[in-house]
Amino acid sequence: MIPRPFEYHVPRSLPEAIALLNQHGEGAKLLAGGHSLLPMMKLRFAEPEHLIDLGKLSELKGIREVDGEIRIGAMTTENELIWSELLQTRCPLLVEGARQISDPQVRYRGTLGGDISHGDPGNDHPALMIALDAAFVLASERGERVVPADGFFVGTYATLLEPGEILTEIRIPLPAPGTGYCYAKLKRKTGDFATAATAVTLRMNAGAVDDVRIALTNVAETAIRATDAEQALRGKPLDEASIAEAARLAMSICAPVADLRGDPEYKTAMAGEMTRRALASAYARAAH
């Protein structure tokens, strides 16, 4: 319950936050919503010497449409995602996903950027971001770089974020009208991390799959993209047989850890089942 002592900093601008991060180096952690970091600090899994609170950086908040993209500030909260009219109408997968994350109180504080940067395979946004073909803006003293979500997650709690970098913005290409979508999440109870979950975006054209993206949550060291399953579906009708084959290919890349949510066999089977359900729901929602 009681974290180790640390020094607290509240930068008022992004350059100030970056300077503080460089000044304090590895002993420093960025504080966003605080609903992953503080719990780890309370259990002394994490013992940073400096916390740099990004809470006053209003430039890291907000949801806008710019040049065919949805741009979301990294400090935008889950609750703000859920109630965004832009997302509800243009990117409902993100709303459906956010509604299944944790609970109301946590969603008032937890941020999109924090959920992504944490790099926890149990988090939901990594797979959602891969399914949405998102890209992340990483800012540092050297300027900005933009990296795709697919490839960003390199291990448990490990991402492409380098020391001194801050995830400032999430960019999602506006899904084409008529794109089907679904986030199917199996969990033991409200607020739990997924036993297995699948995010899908799907476009149909003339009775065949035009494009599909499939990403899996909590069944490997990181969120993973089921590229073979996607490839097997492209250009084909979406029916029971093709869905079953996609689920089989998705299961073939699962490597979950055994824990209280189940053994690897169970989690893998559930990843297949979530993939089947997500594809079927996305198909029902897609324009034909």
Partner 1 sequence: MSKKIMVSFKLNGKETDVVVEPRELLIHTLREKCLHTGPHIGCETSHCGACTVDFDGMSVKSCTMLTVQAEGAEVLTVEGLAQGGDLHALQEGFMQEHGLQCGFCTPGMLMRAYRLLQENPDPSEEEIRYWMAGNLCRCTGYQNIVKAVQYAARKLRGEAVETSHPLMAAETADNH
Residues in region 16-35 near partner 1 by CB under 8 A: 34-35
Residues in region 160-199 near partner 1 by CB under 8 A: 190-191
* 55 touches partner 1 (CB under 8 A): yes
Which residue type occupies 203? R
Query: What does residue 135 show for φ and ψ, rounded to 5 degrees?
Result: -135, 155
Q: How many CA atoms lie within 13 A of 220 on its CB side?
A: 21
Selected from 4, 12, 64, 288, the binder of partner 1 by CB under 8 A is 4
Selected from 17, 18, 32, 51, the binder of partner 1 by CB under 8 A is 51
* 53 touches partner 1 (CB under 8 A): yes
Per-residue binding letters, 95-134, with partner 1 (x by CB under 8 A): -------xxxxx-xx-------------------------
* 5 touches partner 1 (CB under 8 A): yes
Min dist. Cβ of residue 53 to partner 1 (A)? 7
Q: Which residues bind partner 1 (CB under 8 A)?
A: 1-8, 10, 34-35, 38-39, 41-43, 51, 53, 55, 79, 102-106, 108-109, 190-191
